[in-house]
Amino acid sequence: MRRRHVPAALLLPIALLLTACGGNSSASTGTDTDGKGSLTLNVGDQKGGSEAILRAAGELKNLDYKIKWSTFTSGPPLLEAVNARAVDIGGVGNTPPVFAAGAGSKITVVAAFHGTSKGDTILVPNDSKLSRPQDLKGKSVAVAQGSSANYQMVASLKAAGLSLSDVKVKYLQPADALAAFTSGKVDAWAVWDPYTSQILQAKQGRVLTTGEGITNGLTFQVAAPNALQDKKKAAAIKDYLERLRRATAWVHGHQEEWAKVWAKDTGLPYEVALASVRRTNATRISVAVDKPLIASEQQIADAFTELKLIPKKVDFADFVDTRYNGRLPASTTPARASED
């Protein structure tokens, strides 16, 4: 495959922010803190994630505890930090908790958000001859192992009558996958927003298929069990989740404002950030950690166990805590409509 050139203004910011997040260690544990008080809540985040949305919505004011932020390139390394007690709570997609649970990690899902899966895609270059998911047979696909895109790829292949063994899987973290995709070293890339929007806005690829109707569209806040056992930290987590839920709702009515903040925080062009917000971020609603959610995640766990990508049977119900549900709607409540 011939090399495809990406406008530097679009490729460079994402590449920089990802390498800046810690390279091989996949994390940056800087000294950024918010709030005041004797208690510190260690929060794991991804670039342009919880910290950015809370700050934009004004939800980091009047904290009577401190938040220390650590930034990770994706969900799996973030959950490794939760398991190691380096992080008290952090946000991830729908698949990392399943892999962490399969590895016997000490993690607990405490909050959930439901959005559309239109930003979860399998991308192919514009000049690719692939026109439908069935055409992926025998082709190479880049994906971050253990990420939400990992399951989206598995489920999309199954819906097309294919299995994981029918494709050449290249397990790459986003920065490396981006480089491989834009240089023509892989035939396709299974990924999430804002990478989807970045490629589409740069006109360097097109969508072969999305996760809509294929995956559950859930994202989670996952806590360390020892933090939940600490009364003061558990109270801080409750306050933190309430602020995050308000901030998530704020995005729906402030999409352009949030896109400007997000673009500045990540280095993404504003047009890419706005496209991602409209396609994905603004569709999210806060939902309960309930039985349908557990059942949906159990399906993901069983799929990876069957593929032997998870070494043992996982009972996902053992890795949730419903204490923060309150009066939240069911996890099956439809997400907000996307403007995409």
Phi, psi of 201 (to 5 degrees): -65, -30
d(CA 75, CA 44): 9
Helices (H), 162-269: 174-182, 195-201, 225-229, 231-253, 255-266
d(CA 108, CA 110): 6
d(CA 301, CA 304): 5
pTM of the model: 0.85
- CA-nearest of 44, 53, 52, 55 to 21 is 44
Contact 258, 56 (CB under 8 A): yes
Taking 70 as the threshold, does the pLDDT of residue 58 lie above it? yes
- Residue linked to tokens 């805590």: 321
H or E element that contains 189 = strand 188-191
Quick one: average pLDDT of 232-256? 96
Phi, psi of 243 (to 5 degrees): -65, -40
Q: Which residues pair with 40 in a beta bridge?
A: 66
The three-class DSSP label of residue 33 is strand
> What one-character DSSP code corresponds to residue 168?
E
Predicted confidence band of residue 27 (pLDDT cuts 50, 70, 90): low
Q: At what angle do helices 291-306 and 148-159 cross, to 10 degrees?
A: 80
d(CA 67, CA 37): 10
Taking 70 as the threshold, does the pLDDT of residue 29 lie above it? no
What percentage of residues in the chain have a pLDDT greater than 90? 70
d(CA 226, CA 315): 20
What pLDDT score was predicted for residue 251? 93
d(CA 253, CA 248): 10
Q: Tell me the two tokens of residue 195.
A: 């990478």
- CA-nearest of 222, 188, 189 to 297 is 222
CA distances from 220 to 65, 154, 277 (A): 22, 20, 18
H or E element that contains 302 = helix 291-306
CA distances from 130 to 122, 208, 216 (A): 11, 8, 26
Superfamily of domain 117-210: Periplasmic binding protein-like II (3.40.190.10)
Predicted confidence band of residue 174 (pLDDT cuts 50, 70, 90): confident
285-333 pLDDT, tens digit each: 999 999 999 999 999 999 999 989 898 899 999 999 999 999 999 999 9
85-133 pLDDT, tens digit each: 999 999 998 999 999 999 999 999 999 999 988 889 999 999 999 999 9
Average pLDDT, the chain: 88
CATH topology of domain 21-116+216-319: D-Maltodextrin-Binding Protein; domain 2 (3.40.190)
What pLDDT score was predicted for residue 279? 86
Instruction: Tell me how long the chain is.
Output: 340
Where in the chain is CATH 3.40.190.10?
Answer: 21-116+216-319, 117-210
What pLDDT score was predicted for residue 3? 37
The dihedral formed by the CA atoms of 171, 177, 179 and 183, expressed in degrees to the nearest 10: 80
Q: What is the radius of gyration, based on Cα positions, of the chain?
A: 19
Q: Tell me the two tokens of residue 117.
A: 């899966």
- CA-nearest of 183, 172, 181, 185 to 143 is 172
